Structure 1
Amino acid sequence: MAEDFTAGLPRKRMGAGALLTDDQDRVLLVEPTYKDYWEIPGGTVEADESPLAAVIRELDEELGLVIGPGRLLVVDWVPPRAGRTEGLMLLFDGGTVTPAQAALIRVPAAELRGWAWCTVPEAEERLPELLARRIAAAVEARKAGVTAYLENGFATSC
């Protein structure tokens, strides 16, 4: 059997999340217990797991919601920084959460302090700048019916 030449290729960290909104176009954010800032629902794509499967798993684990996300809204390449390797972050359209679905949301106390609906300006106050840019791009991509490619949260000229 031939040696796997891909084993020595560079590896990237990968994360996947979902843009979930309510009927007032507010974005659902979660507050992790292990970070000092809010996040979007989602997380790390595990080994041998697709990004879509990761989003489905994370929505169930974090919120208790079984949602099949829609199309890909954002691909964001994030450069390395202190304490973090470079990464590829994907954001899928989680759709509009109904009041009945929202009433079923349960967060794991060991992982999340809670969750909240936020307007985009409110989200910008709670999120780090990079995540705020990604959320704003996802909202616009959903409206325009496109997939946005970002680098460090910024649209590129291509």
Structure 2
Amino acid sequence: MTTGDFFASLPRKLVGAGALITDDSGRFLVVEPTYKDTWEIPGGLVEAGESPLTAVRRELQEELGLTLPVTTLLVIDWTPPPADQPTRPDGLMLVFDGGTLSPDQCEQITLPADELRSHRWCTDAEAAPFLIPRLARRMTAAQKARAAGATLYLEDGAQ
């Protein structure tokens, strides 16, 4: 077996990188994609050869039109394949701290119309009807991690 064959035979995982971004009231930002029915946090998949930190910074620029000083990793969440999609790979979803935006920065958010319909600022309770349960749990954990100055490891959104 060649080295190339060996690496080609290794398991694949999806890696996503998103951000906890809050407003000055402590609510966090969620976005409504055009391509699915459930809401998300700003971010997306990490491309081949791209670091998760670079990916989240790129996605925030593409999705919100903002360049934010993202540095701190808040959550690592292992996600199994959905029961209705057993051939989909499992993944690692990372949530970074995107900081707290000023009112002026909030007004500067510019969404790409072909990718995002809208955005809103939510508390955990307000976001729950819009987010899949695993993401809702992940965002609650991200806020706890930010408050504690820690990084939390989750599996399927739970500790």
Matched with 2:119 is 115
Question: CA shift at 1:77, angstroms?
Answer: 0.2
TM-score by length of 2: 0.93
User: Residue 135 of structure 2: SS of its match in structure 1?
Assistant: helix
User: Residue 126 of structure 1: SS of its match in structure 2?
Assistant: coil
Q: Check conservation: 2:53, 2:71, Cα contact below 8 A.
A: no
Amino acid paired to 2:117:
R
Matched with 2:158 is 154
Q: Check conservation: 2:66, 2:109, Cα contact below 8 A.
A: yes
Matched with 1:33 is 34
In the alignment, does 2:103 pair up with 1:99? yes
Question: CA shift at 1:142, angstroms?
Answer: 0.5
TM-score by length of 1: 0.94
Q: CA RMSD in A?
A: 1.1
Matched with 1:139 is 143
What number of residue pairs does the alignment pair up? 154
Q: Cα deviations across residues 86-126 of structure 1 (Å, max 9, x unaligned)? A: 11100000000111111111001110001111111101121
In the alignment, structure 1 segments of 5+ residues that lack a partner are none
Identity rate of aligned residues, in percent?
60
In the alignment, structure 2 segments of 5+ residues that lack a partner are none
User: Residue 35 of structure 2: SS of its match in structure 1?
Assistant: coil
Question: CA shift at 1:3, angstroms?
Answer: 2.4
Q: Check conservation: 1:18, 1:93, Cα contact below 8 A.
A: yes
User: Residue 37 of structure 2: SS of its match in structure 1?
Assistant: coil
